[in-house]
Amino acid sequence: MAGGGNAPSQQEMAIRSALETVMDPELSLSVIDLGLIREVRVESAKTWVRMLLTTPFCPYAPQMIEDVKQAARSVVDQECEVEILPDAWSPDMMPDPGLLGFSY
């Protein structure tokens, strides 16, 4: 795509679809449903995923990062780098906050 537009490529959309299988073990919702995946970018030699954690010191972070890498590699067979963003997560970031099962 010339000019580096913001529309996701088919590969990026396929990676997002694969990421729906990566679950937060505490909340039993996917990283997509939770709105944790902020960016997916496929470059010629590497896939980049920028994501949040639900809490800053999430004990499941190492496993979730590895699961995200595996899901991305299942779509585009190349190295995947996962960057954890320092931003605070909020249910407002979810496509459907009602999935949490309570009002906040």
Q: What is the CATH number of the domain that holds 48?
A: 3.30.300.130
Is 53 inside a domain boundary? yes
- Which residues, at least 6 apart from 79, have a Cβ–Cβ distance to it below 8 Å? 45, 46, 47
Is 79 inside a domain boundary? yes
The residue-averaged pLDDT of 62-68 equals 97
Question: What is the model's pLDDT at position 7?
Answer: 78
- Residue numbers of the domain that contains 47: 10-89
Is 58 inside a domain boundary? yes
Is 3 inside a domain boundary? no
Evaluate whether 71 touches 82 at the Cβ level (below 8 Å). Answer: no
pTM equals 0.88
Q: Encode pLDDT of 45-60 as tens digits.
A: 999 999 999 998 889 9
Is 94 inside a domain boundary? no
What is the sign, positive or negative, of the torsion defined by CA atoms of 31, 94, 100, 12?
negative
Question: What is the model's pLDDT at position 102?
Answer: 65
